[in-house]
A and B are shown apart, each in its own frame.
Chain A
């Protein structure tokens, strides 16, 4: 009978303070669902939007507190090293919360117009934001997988919520099948990494790979390759990008914005954490493969974008080529490359959220032909100007954040002596600029005297536009603060 006293389960110590941002978001999601279930009749979107915004702002202040903790006491890890608290995780927490605020504001008027029930939408949005944060701060491959699934499952439903429209259903089904397919690849990669290193913990994997010289590393290589395929699907890198245009086109515009910005950023966060943090000892093995992916992604994204006639598809291919720039920074395998990738992702998020705010305001999303924008420069000059700034920033025009981002990425590639890739990145920026300018021309240059479109712009969308355009110009003129922020946010894996 001596066994009983030894069977007492001792759980790992949990640093609740570090988990607070995710818990606030999940708590807000539960609150919204509870209130909407208890409310006597269908509530308006106001309560859900306000709760979401309050949760995001509170979590934002907690994240700032965690940031100052990390600056003074250094990075830490919690729950048996499963979740890391370092500059990297807080950088992405702030990025995801910013995306959450913008998406909640854009969705407010959109849901009202399209007649979608708001509470469920916001609850799913909050859950998927919490998943994205978990993904960016996971120090364990399985925790990362759970975060990824929380993010993706929320997204599948959010895309399908516009169930009356066949495009949304089709888009949700396509994303679901390919998302599940890519998750299994990722998981199989995790299994093989586990088999070859003996743990799913990234700290353990890094220490093991640093200490052991493999006689036969086929299992490890296969695991890394499968992880790479899984991540490439998630961030829509060629040749695993084919789902993106269809899904982006069919999804409701606020969800497309969320998918293009935050789902991609969280995918890259996990990518960087795993490949920089844990597989650093095997740089020489994965860096060339990422370089090939970057090359394919850049070329496919920029060339295919020219051939489109639908604005949402154009931006889908443009987001594919943006993933290519981030990959160019990733393949340089240096700290400078990581901070360039982080800077690029941060600025890109603002540009893409602003663009999809405008697209959402411009009308229904099944078809979104370029003609719809003809004459916008005459009928709504301010709106057209905002869209022009966001598009030019994506093209990488000086005085916008896009220029600084592209410059840093190309500098990182040159520092790694991948001159060919740097040249391809510059060339595809030129090709891509053609597509952005085509939209700008359509807005300003019209032959006939016809009236341009005059969409109603809700004040919440206007706030998002002011914020995103303002930030894009601010970073374009004084980029130093964001560069320093990104340099402090290189991932650090630490045992808790």
Chain B
């Protein structure tokens, strides 16, 4: 059976959905960060698959930009997680509930 581009797109979409679901249901801040990465990598896979189909190098360059942005985002995210865990050891997303209306 031939593996067409569609397969990669479906895999990308699945990774995106798994990451998105994980972000919504997991309560550990570190796991939530990992889920964001999973979503971004799903998108990256779609970019590369499209780039291959369109025979256009643009989509592959985009992936490098996204990797850099994801790294910058994780730096800030980990900083926030450390700042929170240092003052409230073992905090989960449920413990962050001071603000409510």
Contact = CB atoms under 8 A, between A and B. Distances in A.
B69 A146 contact: yes
Given A184-B36, A184-B39, A194 B84 contact: no
Interface in A237-292: 245-246, 249-250
Contact of A198 (B16, B54, B97): B54
A310 B96 CA distance: 19
A310 B84 contact: no
Contacts of A192: 46
Contact of A313 (B12, B69, B98, B101): B101
A250 to B, nearest CB: 5
Given A184-B39, A187-B43, A249-B99, A142 B16 contact: no
Interface of A: 142, 145-146, 149, 153, 156-157, 160, 163, 166-167, 169-174, 176-177, 180-181, 183-184, 187-188, 190-192, 194-195, 198-200, 245-246, 249-250, 304, 307-308, 310, 313, 366
A167 B96 CA distance: 9
Contact of A180 (B36, B43, B93, B98): B36
A157 B59 CA distance: 30
Contacts of B9: 195
Given A194-B59, A250-B99, A308-B101, A169 B23 contact: no
B14 interface: no
Contacts of B12: 191
B83 A180 contact: no
Contacts, number: 116
A192 B65 CA distance: 17
B40 to A, nearest CB: 6
A180 to B, nearest CB: 5
Interface string B49-64: 0100110101100100
A169 B65 contact: no
A149 B80 contact: no
A289 to B, nearest CB: 20
Nearest to B9: A195
Contacts of B36: 177, 180-181, 184
Contact of A173 (B69, B72, B84): B84
